[in-house]
Amino acid sequence: MEASDLKQKIDSVFQVQVDANETIRPLEYRKELIQKVLNWILENESKIKDSINQDFKKPEIEIELTEIWFCIKEARYILRNLRRWMKKESVSKTLALISTRSYIIREPKGVVLIIAPWNYPFQLTIMPLLAAIASGNSVFLKPSEKTPNVSSLINEMVLGLFDLKDVAVFEGGEQTVSMLLEKRFNHILYTGGTAVGQIVMEKASKHLTPVTLELGGKCPALVDSSANIKEAAKKIAYFKFMNAGQTCVAPDYVLVDEKIENEFTNEIKKYVESM
């Protein structure tokens, strides 16, 4: 898509979503949208697996566990609890306000931008989408360009389930992200590397847009001499090598009591080889 056409489309959809947020979406409407996503996932598990497999050969059991199951569980959890979450919450009176009634009423932020990563391309796109919908927001969704088959499938899903006023997908790479970040969103959620995270925060700061950044980091594991060494080795190996280590909370290194260093090293070798 030409840059001018992309900008025009972004501007047009953005205005549609801004207008849609002049009224607050009611409970039943939000639940209807969440249910649509849940039903689509349940009916299209094979498509989800195929698209992820085409992008990077992830084992089917891992797709079920780390991509699909999380989203199904999250959608059902939201459907069970959303009514309670949306209720106004009474607040105790202070002396100065003794003759009044005070409440906390949770309202949507408005138009939310979600920029998703490639390492869990379905789960880390759908989970924040479910949260944003549940909160009553409109959503701009930018799947990762590094997983084009999953990105295409998510676009297909959104086009089939949502009006533009509720959710719109913008595929593409750096050009798309740069143009999106010029808009005055009400919240931005980004999952990915720290370098791009800094750019997102810098762009958002110009509009004082609040951001949620989930960035990579170092996650050491600590194993002391009192630990169940076999169990520790098993869990550390599992969570380090799951998704080929491409998980933001994968343990990058282990601090081990020197008394058990050799025993732990031997045990973790066994589990790596068995996997």
Q: What is the CA radius of gyration of the chain?
A: 22
Are the C-beta atoms of residues 233 and 267 closer than 8 Å to each other?
Answer: yes
- Running DSSP on this structure, what letter comes out for residue 215? E
Question: Is 176 in contact with 143 (CB distance < 8 Å)?
Answer: no
Percentage of the chain beyond pLDDT 70 is: 100
pLDDT at site 212: 96
Q: Say what the pLDDT of residue 270 is.
A: 93
Average pLDDT over residues 171-177: 93
Among the listed residues 214, 258, 261, 273, the single catalytic one is 214
The conformation of residue 245, written as its DSSP 8-state character, comes to: G
Q: Report the mean per-residue pLDDT for the chain.
A: 94
The whole-number pLDDT of residue 216 equals 76
User: How does 226-263 read in b/e, with b if 16+ C-beta sit within 10 Å?
Assistant: eeebeebbbebbebbeebeeebbebbeebebeeebeee
The pLDDT of residue 247 is above 90:
no
Each residue's pLDDT tens digit, 76-98:
999 999 999 999 998 888 888 88
pLDDT, residue 72, reads 98
Is 45 an annotated catalytic residue?
no
How high is the pLDDT of residue 95? 84
Give the integer Cα–Cα distance in Å for 76 and 228.
35
Give the tens place of pLDDT for each residue, 178-208: 999 999 999 999 999 888 999 999 999 999 9
Q: Is the pLDDT assigned to residue 258 strictly greater than 90?
A: yes
pLDDT over 90 percentage in the chain: 83
Helix, strand or coil, per DSSP, at residue 257: coil
pLDDT single digits (tens) 212-246 = 999 877 788 999 999 999 999 999 999 898 898 88
Q: Tell me the whole-structure pTM to 2 decimals.
A: 0.90
Catalytic residue list contains 214: yes
* Strand 221-223 to 254-256 pairing: parallel
Q: Among 171, 219, 248, 263, which one carries the catalytic annotation? A: 248
Closest CA to 231 of 196, 197, 264: 264
**73-87, 138-152, 242-256: segment of lowest average pLDDT:** 242-256
